[in-house]
Amino acid sequence: MSDIHAEKILILDFGSQYTQLIARRVREMHVYCEILPCTTSEESIRNFAPKGIILSGGPASVETVGSPVAPQVVFDLGVPLLGICYGLQYLAKALGGRVGRAPQREYGRAPVKIEAASPLFEGFDVGESCDVWMSHGDRVEELPPGFRAIAASPSSPLAAVAHVEKPIFGVQFHPEVHHSARGKEILQNFLRISGCTGQWNMASFSKTLVEQIRAQVGSGKVICALSGGVDSAVTALLIHKAIGDQLHCIFVDHGLLRKGEREQVREVFQDRFHVPLEVIDARARFLGKLDGVTDPERKRKIIGHEFIEVFDEAAKRVGDAKFLAQGTVYPDVIESISFKGPSATIKSHHNVGGLPEKMNLALVEPLRELFKDEVRELGRELGMPEHIVNRQPFPGPGLAIRCLGGLTDERLETLREADAIVREEVAAAGLHDRIWQAFAVLLPVRSVGVMGDERTYDETCAIRAVDSVDAMTADWSRLPHELLAKMSTRICNEVKGINRVVYDISSKPPATIEWE
């Protein structure tokens, strides 16, 4: 492991919805960190060798039998500790204090008054008050031996605590949340207490990744499924930088791409970066399998299965490949190891997850430690053009789940043209980078219209634009009426087969971002 990881913070997850935010804030301050479940073994924590440990919040009560606990090693290592919400309550109880139900629960913004000077509140004045984000029903009722209160809120007299001698701290509120006015300063102070100087940056990390790829792959061949999305694109470019022509990229055109994507991928990777690339035209094959299929789950499963078959056939032509490259990112890893319990399947996800077992290939996943915004930053570091780096999310099944009902060449081409207009106009209005996603959906709903002196009976196009941070929740974008009018006019005038345009004003939840 490179020296770039010499300063590391460990975040132990007790199931909080905000745990990833803690990691993002720490990374933003150029300190490397990882999230591990609170059930992680003592040996793994020792091997990680953190400079400091943050205990996250969580939905449980420390007073409940079977509530999550941290390994004893977090206290034995002697490194600075910061407990947040549940993390504070766990620290207090584990070290001899008492936790109980608060007489009044605190949710949302609350004022916290600084009661005493502390390294955690460096830069704050004793007596000053600042707004923070609370989300708790329990509170610390009695401090453990050796602790003192350093901040209070109306419902939590012990809203922040510190050990008088050891670098152990706890806060009842969530400094990682944007609504905590000076939360970043508090986290920055904890990083300073932990001896972190903020040396982690993408330029150095990219060199580390290149070294790791070379060490893992050696002289072996790597194949990569290139979709054109930012994750697979950065993966391919990074691996090519590390091992050159040992990488073989495969791009499958399944006929469900957006306008110009196939040409764009070829221009960027084959022509500009000279990455070995095989483009497979499988449009007829996929549409044949999807003929007459209208159920979205069946569409997804057919596309996923067929993709594996096409990719497998192409990989065999490469010959003697030992590795499969995947654009797995850190949120994927966190979800797979999180303390959180199982969640309901909303919809199946199309990816190449079934390939390694089928093909007996070792995985190369260089982005598995990065968040999406860090992947984009790495892409820029590698010289990737902005239209790829800032590409909006696009589902694996492509237009198949935006073209509701049966799929035909004609309907897909209609949707492709309408979608291109939506994206063109959003970009022209300067909103592309401000909107999480903006796209068109073709509905199998016909209505009467009139164009010139003729009656039409054509399909409906829905425009979907949402604002989000991580796609877990989303709100519909308040696009200017003039922009909506322009998109509607252009689609009806320029795209044959559409005579009506509607705008989707549903949030997630209760809706999802995609229609299927």
Q: Which of 322, 215, 226, 333 is nearest to 279 (CA)?
A: 226
Residue 231 annotated as binding site: yes
Residues in CB range of 53: below 8 A, 6 or more apart:
9, 10, 11, 12, 74, 77, 79, 80, 81, 82
Bridge partner residues of 252 (DSSP): 280
Instruction: Answer yes or no: are the C-beta atoms of 52 and 194 closer than 8 Å.
Output: yes
Distance of alpha carbon 283 from alpha carbon 256, whole angstroms: 8
Check the annotation: does 232 bind a ligand. Answer: yes
List, in order, residues 6 or more apart from 241 with CB less than 8 Å away. 210, 382
Q: Which helix (H) or strand (E) holds 481?
A: helix 481-494
End-to-end CA distance of the chain: 42
Sign, CA dihedral 391-396-399-401, equals negative
176 an active-site residue? yes
Which among 57, 143, 140 has a CA at the least distance from the CA of 95? 143
Question: 71: burial class by Cβ within 10 Å (0-12, 13-18, 19+)?
Answer: middle
Burial 385-422 (b: 16+ CB within 10 A, else e): eeebbebeebbbbbbbbbbbeebeeebbbbbbbbbbbb
Backbone angles phi, psi at 378, to 5 degrees: -65, -40
33 among known catalytic residues: no
User: Given 106, 130, 136, 174, which residue is catalytic?
Assistant: 174
Alpha carbon distance 65, 14 (integer Å)? 15
> Which of 85, 130, 403, 492 does the annotation list as catalytic?
85
> Which residue in 176, 374, 377, 381 is the catalytic one?
176
Full DSSP string of 115-135: -S--GGGTTPPTT-EEEEEEE
227 is in an annotated binding site: yes
Rounded to whole angstroms, the Cα distance separating 201 from 199 reads 6
Residue 433 in marked binding region: no
| Residue 335 among the catalytic residues | no
Instruction: Please name the amino acid found at residue 211.
Output: E
Identify the three-state secondary structure at position 35.
Answer: strand
202-217 and 230-243 are packed helices; what angle lies between their axes, rounded to 10 degrees?
70
Give the separation between CA 200 and CA 365, rounded to whole angstroms. 20
Is position 78 annotated in a ligand binding site?
A: no
Number of H helices, E strands in the chain: 16, 18
Task: State how far Cα 358 lies from the chain centre.
Answer: 27
- Read out DSSP for 260-294? THHHHHIIIIIIIS---EEEEE-HHHHHHHHTT--
At 6, list the tokens. 């010499």
> Binding site membership: which residues?
227-233
**Residues forming the active site:** 85, 174, 176
Residues in the annotated binding site for ATP: 227-233
